[in-house]
Amino acid sequence: MLYLIGLGLSYSSDITVRGLEIVKKCSRVYLEHYTSILMAASQTELEEFYGKKIVMADREMVETGLQEILRDSDKEDVAFLVVGDPFGATTHTDLVLRARQQKIDVEIVHNASVMNAVGSCGLQLYNFGQTVSMVFFTDNWRPDSWYDKIWENRKIGLHTLVLLDIKVKEQSIENMARGRLIYEPPRYMSIAQCCEQLLEIEEGRQSSAYTPETPAVAISRLGAPTQTFKSGTIEELADYDSGEPLHSLVILGRQCHELELEYLLQFATDPQNFKLKVAKDQEYFKPEPWRPPTQDN
C-alpha cells in the first residue's frame, strides 16, 4: 500500500494519530520537500518522533523519480509525507494516478493545510474564490497568468488566497546547463516582494483588477508559534517586514462581511483608515442596481 499522509502545518505532533500509526508500520518513509516546509520541526526531530528513517523527496525525485517511491509498494507499506494536506499540490495527484496505473493500492490521510487554516485570519472560507500562486520574477520571466484569476474573483466579490513561492534545492541556469549538481540557497518569498510584483503587473496591465489601495491581509507562519496577521492595502504591505517564512496573502473581495471586517481591524496599524479603505473597496466592481425593464425592452 502507498500512503499519502498529511503532516499539518508546523509541529511534528501535528500529524494525526492514524497517520502516525501508519508511518510507524511502513518500511520506507519519504518526506516531500519542495512545495512547503514544516516550520517547527526538522528532519531529525521528525525521525525521532516517528521512530523511522526519513528520505527527503526533492522536486527531482517527485517529478522524475516517482518509480523509486513506488518501488515494491504493491508488496510493502510505503509512506509519502506531505506538509499540510496531501492534495495541496497537483504533483501529488499525479503520484496517485501513477500508482493506480501500476495497480498499487493508495490510501490518503488528510490534515490541516493553508487552504482551510487561512480562515484563522478572520475571513470566511466560503467567501474565497480561486487560489493563485505567485512565483519569483526573473530578469526575463515575469509570468502574470494569475492576474486574470484575481480579476475573476474580484468581479464576483470573492477573496483571493495568494500562495507565495519557495525555492528549495534549486539550480541556477548556468549550473543546470553545465550539469553541475550545485544548488542555490533556499529562498522564500516575502509579503513585500509579492505585493511589489502585484503592483508591477497591474501597472503594466492597467485593467484595475486591483489597485494599490485594495485591502489585503498578510499571513505569516500560519500554524506556527509565531503566527502573525497584518491588515493593510497592497501598497502598504509592499513595505511590510513579514519576518521569517512561510508567508501567504489574501486580497479581499468586494463582499467583505461586517464580522470579517471586525476581525481584520485588530491586525491593522490604523483600524479606522483600514475600515475606510474597505468601505471604498465595497464599491469596486459593484453591480449596477437592478432597474425594471421599460416598455421599449
Is residue 120 a contact partner of residue 222, using CB atoms and an 8 Å limit? yes
pLDDT at 80 over 70: yes
Tell me the average pLDDT across 145-154: 96
The answer to whether 7 is annotated as binding is: no
* Same domain as 52, residue 141: no
The answer to whether 241 is annotated as binding is: no
The answer to whether 158 is annotated as binding is: no
The answer to whether 85 is annotated as binding is: yes
pLDDT tens digit sequence for 180-228: 665 667 899 999 999 999 999 999 999 999 999 999 999 999 999 999 9
- For residue 83, being part of any structural domain is answered with yes
* Same domain as 134, residue 41: no
* Same domain as 128, residue 93: no
Number of folded domains that form the chain: 2
The answer to whether 33 is annotated as binding is: no
- For residue 293, being part of any structural domain is answered with no
- For residue 205, being part of any structural domain is answered with yes
The answer to whether 179 is annotated as binding is: no
Of 86, 112, 138, which residue constitutes the final position of a domain?
112
Calpha distance 107→5 (Å, rounded) = 8
* Same domain as 145, residue 29: no
Distances (CA, A) of 204 to 38, 115, 142, 199: 36, 29, 11, 9
pLDDT at 174 over 70: no
* Same domain as 108, residue 13: yes
- For residue 31, being part of any structural domain is answered with yes
- For residue 175, being part of any structural domain is answered with yes
pLDDT band at 170 (very low <50, low <70, confident <90, very high): low
The answer to whether 247 is annotated as binding is: yes
The answer to whether 113 is annotated as binding is: yes
Structural domain that includes position 67: 2-112
* Same domain as 211, residue 96: no
Question: pTM value?
Answer: 0.90
